């Protein structure tokens, strides 16, 4: 079973992402798998692994939750990972900041002693921070999805509020930590 380590967005930002996903679902129907349709809260994945020792991950991530609070993002753009067939992904992207890169780096350093290698696109130097809106898109659905994302687009602020360990498929939250600033 694959596992993701993800950062959950605050409720206002999540509502904005879900509203865009709802427009995509209405426009694309079953040609798009939206985050809402698979029961996933809007999030930003730090890393994904094919396999991990759950107990070791939980212990390694406990410290990440402390000191990560009050991390704000500007969701500043829309984008896509185009792929052949029906495998494209549409997303919203945060502006890249030092605190965000530090969270990503810390996560990888904390999990490195477990001896597993994460998916290449999530490794430092390859990672494109993103909040998925829809996936499994063919080229026509990708064009429609991008138009839905762009319609009325304005950048917005998001606060990272929780860290989750997620297993999939099916999607299930295995452990969650509230993010808190050092001293909270």
- pLDDT over 70 at 69, yes or no: no
Q: Tell me if 75 sits within 8 A of 92, measured CB to CB.
A: yes
- pLDDT over 80 at 180, yes or no: no
Q: Which of 55, 56, 42, 43 is nearest to 5 (CA)?
A: 43
Which residue shows structure tokens 């029906």?
Answer: 86
Count Cα atoms within 13 angstroms, Cβ side, for 143: 2
- pLDDT over 80 at 176, yes or no: yes
- pLDDT over 80 at 139, yes or no: yes
Q: In the CATH scheme, what is the code of domain 3-178?
A: 3.90.1140.10
The bridge status of strand 71-81 relative to strand 43-49 is unpaired
80-93 burial: b if 16+ Cβ within 10 Å, else e:
bbeeeebebbbbbb
Q: What does the domain layout of the chain look like in residue ranges?
A: 3-178
Average pLDDT across the chain, whole number:
92
> DSSP 3-state assignment of 126?
coil
pLDDT at 153: 97
pLDDT at 119: 96
CA distance 75 to 60: 28
pLDDT at 67: 63
Q: How confident is the model at residue 135 (pLDDT cuts 50, 70, 90)?
A: very high
Residue-wise pLDDT tens digits, 86-109: 899 999 999 999 999 999 999 999
């Amino acid at each position: 079973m694959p596992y993701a380590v993800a950062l959950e967005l605050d409720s206002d930002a999540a509502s904005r992402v879900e509203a865009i996903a709802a427009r995509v679902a209405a426009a694309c129907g079953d040609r798009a798998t939206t985050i809402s349709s698979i029961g996933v809260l809007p999030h930003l994945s730090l890393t994904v692994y094919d396999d991990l020792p759950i107990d070791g991950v939980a212990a390694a991530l406990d410290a990440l939750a402390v000191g990560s609070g009050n991390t704000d993002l500007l969701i500043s753009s829309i984008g896509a990972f185009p792929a052949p067939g029906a495998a494209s992904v549409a997303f919203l992207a945060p502006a890249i900041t030092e605190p965000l890169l530090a969270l990503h780096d810390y996560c990888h350093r904390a999990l490195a002693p477990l001896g597993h290698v994460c998916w290449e696109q999530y490794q430092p130097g390859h990672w494109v921070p993103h909040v998925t809106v829809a996936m499994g898109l063919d080229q026509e659905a990708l064009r429609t999805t991008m138009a839905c994302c762009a319609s009325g687009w304005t950048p917005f602020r998001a606060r990272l509020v929780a860290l989750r360990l997620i297993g999939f498929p099916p999607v299930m939250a295995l452990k969650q930590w509230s993010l808190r600033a050092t001293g909270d």
